[in-house]
Chains A and B, each alone.
Chain A
Amino acid sequence: MNFDLDDQQRDLASAAGDFLASSTSLADVRAALDAAATDIAVRPGRDQLLSSGFATITLPEEVDGGGGTVLDLAVVAEQAGRVLAGPSLITYARAAVLLAGDTDRLRALAAGEMKVAVVDGDGPVLDALGAEQFLALRDGRIVIGGGTVDLPDPIDPTRGLGRVTLGDVEVVDGSGDGADAQARWDRALQIGRVILAAESLGAAARSVEIGVAYAKERQAFGRAIGSYQAVKHALVDAYVAVEELRSLVWWSAWAADNAPDELPMASASAKGVAAMASQLAAETLIQVHGGIGFTWEHDAHLYWRRAKVDRFLLGDDVAAFDEVARLAMAGAAS
């Protein structure tokens, strides 16, 4: 057993971290919040993410993708989460699964000619902003088509969230009767949850870092506030939650690549724990900063917005834990 990243994955993380830090900034995020909803541009944006190669890591090489693993993509997604980058790698990860085998469309996706988003039921759509084609599950088939996008005022401007009304669609789930469409949709959703948890991990880890740095500097009553246990212990609890989440992100990404039987449990666990950990980390970040943490100017609320919105994406944490319980009990009964 060797449950750790290897050197290549660490190099990938550091390259992705450098690229993302230089192509987006939290100032952009705040500018997006200030802008009218339709003027929002998430950074680094679809084109940059595609040309960097990071968005298409899990696409096969024959369509100009990276031919990499879900774990590779998760490693990059953590870095994206640290800087609240958009659009989300979740969208690319899901599209790669939903369009698997459809070489033309995958090639168009990798080339940036086809800008997609994935529509779950009639809920809010991640990366609706700038999308022209929408993937959905309709009557047991996977479909794609155009649609009209409405962009209400989003809580988190980095997620490109909108409401989508599908137009004309065509079936894309290969030939045949679509018998495996539901299974493919489920797998895409599970991998989406893995990548979502990885982005949450990055955002939560960064929140703890910013909080710790401030707690070392800020003085009150003649001492750094980090020497007070109320502050120290709050940061430690957030740190512990982040490290537990990291383990689930790695396991679930590994399962996506190597152990399909474990993926449902792993991805639901990662999704639910990610919701709790990122909220705890963001709220701790605000609290540690006191009044400044509650201002528009401070970055804390940008992380808080992410956590609040992520909790509801791809099913909420209550649904995820319900699924974990059902799977665990089914295992117990068998």
Chain B
Amino acid sequence: MDFDDTPEEASWRSTVRSIIADNREALGRRGAGRGYDDPAARDRQALLYDNGLVGVTWSKEAGGQGGTPMQQAIVDQELSRAEVPGLVNLIGIGMCGPTVIAHGSESQKERYLKRLLRADDLWCQLFSEPGSGSDLAALRTKAVRTDDGTWRISGQKVWTTLAHVSDYGILLTRTDPDVAKHRGLTMFVVDMKAPGVSVRSLRQMSGGSDFNEVFFDDVEISDDERLGDVGNGWGVALTTLMAERMSLGGGGTDIGVGVGAVADHVAARIADLPDDRAAVTRQQFGRAYAESLAIRYTGYRQLSAISRGEMPGPEASAGKLAGTRVARDLADLSVRLLDDDAVFARDSGGDSTWQDSQASLPGLAIAGGTNEVLRNVIGERVLGLPAEPRADKNVPFRETIAVATGGSESAAKGATV
């Protein structure tokens, strides 16, 4: 056991450091607001890409560096240490890209991947629908093949992060309602500017608007834009979900709020507290801090396993379960330390970081598979506990709708069982 860089890791780390140092001013500093609607943020990502620091693990053909997960982790550590702002399109890079790499045609890879990494294009993930979130395979957005081979899409997606600024999306559709729900799905790349696509912003509890409803009204998609085989959309989606697990699982400590920033915040205020409150505050902070260390070192265990060539399994989701809880504890403690300003979020005269982070954290326990669903996955796949009973297993999708809606397919609301 050791935490030292191998000689290769050390040399890569010094390369990364000197790239960052050479471009220090142009790379900007963290805390500059939401990146994706700021053209400068996209320029900064292009700069990182042109210097070989984005898509490190992607193959050269895919526009990446053909590097190792450990090299990517070193890049992440060094960018974070240097307080370089994060990438603007984690969904694109973490989920859409790997899906195109695994299932796309040569021409799709050629057209899309490098532009995605450079943030020339932003991407979104069009999976969830009003009637199918956790029960993703119950989705209804319909894709019908026309005589000339193109596809016509109609239906609605929801909670689509970044849809309002995206150039492309990966879109999961139903192409055959007469087979069991997992079998009748097909995945496409959709041009978000195509005729018939409309995007309506949703406002989140935080007041911000990062996710959207997306409507497809007879949108035409060429068969070249299909990802994987007709009817194999579920298999393709599993690639996306596995990539999602990896990109949400490991990082842990910095989910939502940085634990170091909380330490500064507590240290700055604790001296003004009466002794009894100071003691309670220290205890709460110490507990969350210790847990955040546990998450960080669990991430190191996973990284070590990955660099031995092991695939991260469902246990990678444990980091998200622990991380979302710790992030909420830290944000809650931080808000409490604001005193009266804790209840006047909007006119606290300047820094509303803590109130904002508090109002964004409940979303983390829902996005990327709810924490309940992740517990099911760990319970069944890691602990080997018996699976949930499924009323819709092996039943043609059309019939599951009939049961759920008393026979009328148009009565909406999916067959969530």
For A229, what are the chain B residues with a Cβ–Cβ distance below 8 Å?
372, 375-376, 388
Flag the segment in B226-234, B314-322, B398-406 that touches A.
B314-322
Complex contact B387–A216 (CB within 8 A): no
Complex contact B270–A239 (CB within 8 A): no
Q: A269-B290, A321-B283 are in contact. Are A250 and B70 (CB under 8 A)?
A: no
Complex contact A233–B291 (CB within 8 A): no
Within 8 Å of chain B (Cβ to Cβ): is A162?
Answer: no
Per the bound structure, the CA–CA distance linking A139 and B314 in Å amounts to: 53
Complex contact B263–A227 (CB within 8 A): no
Q: A1-B2, A3-B297 are in contact. Are A322 and B279 (CB under 8 A)?
A: yes
When C-beta atoms are compared, the residue in chain A nearest to B267 turns out to be: A329
For A233, what are the chain B residues with a Cβ–Cβ distance below 8 Å?
372, 375-376, 379
Choose from B9, B285, B297, B387 the contact partner of A227 (Cβ within 8 Å).
Answer: B387
When C-beta atoms are compared, the residue in chain B nearest to A224 turns out to be: B386
Within 8 A of A (CB), among B78-113: none
Within 8 Å of chain A (Cβ to Cβ): is B11?
Answer: no
Complex contact A325–B285 (CB within 8 A): yes
Per the bound structure, the CA–CA distance linking A224 and B383 in Å amounts to: 14
Within 8 Å of chain B (Cβ to Cβ): is A226?
Answer: yes
Within 8 A of B (CB), among A1-48: 1-6, 9
Most interface-central of B286, B307, B389 (chain A CB within 10 A): B286
Per the bound structure, the CA–CA distance linking A252 and B266 in Å amounts to: 25
For A331, what are the chain B residues with a Cβ–Cβ distance below 8 Å?
263
Q: What 1/0 flags go to B283-295 for Cβ under 8 Å of A?
A: 1111101110111
Complex contact A239–B382 (CB within 8 A): yes
When C-beta atoms are compared, the residue in chain B nearest to A271 turns out to be: B290
For B315, what are the chain A residues with a Cβ–Cβ distance below 8 Å?
243
Per the bound structure, the CA–CA distance linking A172 and B252 in Å amounts to: 45
Within 8 Å of chain A (Cβ to Cβ): is B4?
Answer: yes
For B301, what are the chain A residues with a Cβ–Cβ distance below 8 Å?
3-4, 246-247, 250
Within 8 Å of chain B (Cβ to Cβ): is A98?
Answer: no
Within 8 Å of chain A (Cβ to Cβ): is B67?
Answer: no
Choose from A9, A223, A232, A265 the contact partner of B376 (Cβ within 8 Å).
Answer: A232
When C-beta atoms are compared, the residue in chain B nearest to A69 turns out to be: B1
CB distance from B255 to the nearest CB of A (A): 14
For B348, what are the chain A residues with a Cβ–Cβ distance below 8 Å?
none
CB distance from B72 to the nearest CB of A (A): 13
Interface size class of B (residues with CB under 8 A): 35 or more
Choose from A5, A216, A231, A329 the contact partner of B270 (Cβ within 8 Å).
Answer: A329
Interface of chain B, main secondary structure: helix
Per the bound structure, the CA–CA distance linking A2 and B73 in Å amounts to: 13
When C-beta atoms are compared, the residue in chain A nearest to B296 turns out to be: A247
Per the bound structure, the CA–CA distance linking A245 and B379 in Å amounts to: 18
For B340, what are the chain A residues with a Cβ–Cβ distance below 8 Å?
none
Q: What 1/0 flags go to A306-334 for Cβ under 8 Å of B?
A: 00000000000010111111101101110
Q: A71-B1, A223-B389, A227-B389 are in contact. Are A235 and B379 (CB under 8 A)?
A: yes
**What total count of A-B pairs have CB within 8 Å?**
174
Choose from B266, B286, B298, B385 the contact partner of A216 (Cβ within 8 Å).
Answer: B385
Within 8 Å of chain A (Cβ to Cβ): is B282?
Answer: yes
Within 8 Å of chain A (Cβ to Cβ): is B215?
Answer: no
Within 8 Å of chain B (Cβ to Cβ): is A116?
Answer: no
Complex contact A326–B282 (CB within 8 A): yes
CB distance from A164 to the nearest CB of B (A): 29
Within 8 Å of chain B (Cβ to Cβ): is A142?
Answer: no
Complex contact B294–A227 (CB within 8 A): no
Most interface-central of B3, B264, B293 (chain A CB within 10 A): B293
Complex contact A325–B282 (CB within 8 A): yes
Within 8 Å of chain A (Cβ to Cβ): is B384?
Answer: yes
Per the bound structure, the CA–CA distance linking A2 and B3 in Å amounts to: 6
For B270, what are the chain A residues with a Cβ–Cβ distance below 8 Å?
329
Within 8 A of A (CB), among B217-273: 260, 263-264, 266-267, 270
Complex contact A1–B291 (CB within 8 A): no
For A326, what are the chain B residues with a Cβ–Cβ distance below 8 Å?
282, 286
- Given contacts A226-B386, A236-B321, A273-B291, could you give 18 more A-B pairs where the C-beta distance is less than 8 Å? A1-B3, A1-B70, A3-B3, A4-B301, A212-B383, A231-B385, A236-B375, A240-B321, A244-B294, A245-B294, A247-B298, A248-B297, A250-B1, A265-B293, A276-B287, A321-B287, A324-B289, A332-B267
Residues of B within 8 A of A (CB): 1-6, 9, 70, 260, 263-264, 266-267, 270, 279, 281-287, 289-291, 293-295, 297-298, 300-301, 303-305, 307, 315, 318, 321-322, 372, 375-376, 378-380, 382-389
- 27 A-B pairs with CB atoms under 8 Å apart are A1-B3, A1-B70, A3-B304, A4-B304, A5-B1, A6-B1, A212-B384, A224-B385, A226-B386, A229-B372, A229-B376, A232-B375, A235-B385, A236-B375, A239-B318, A239-B378, A240-B318, A246-B298, A248-B294, A251-B293, A269-B290, A272-B290, A321-B286, A322-B279, A325-B286, A326-B286, A329-B285
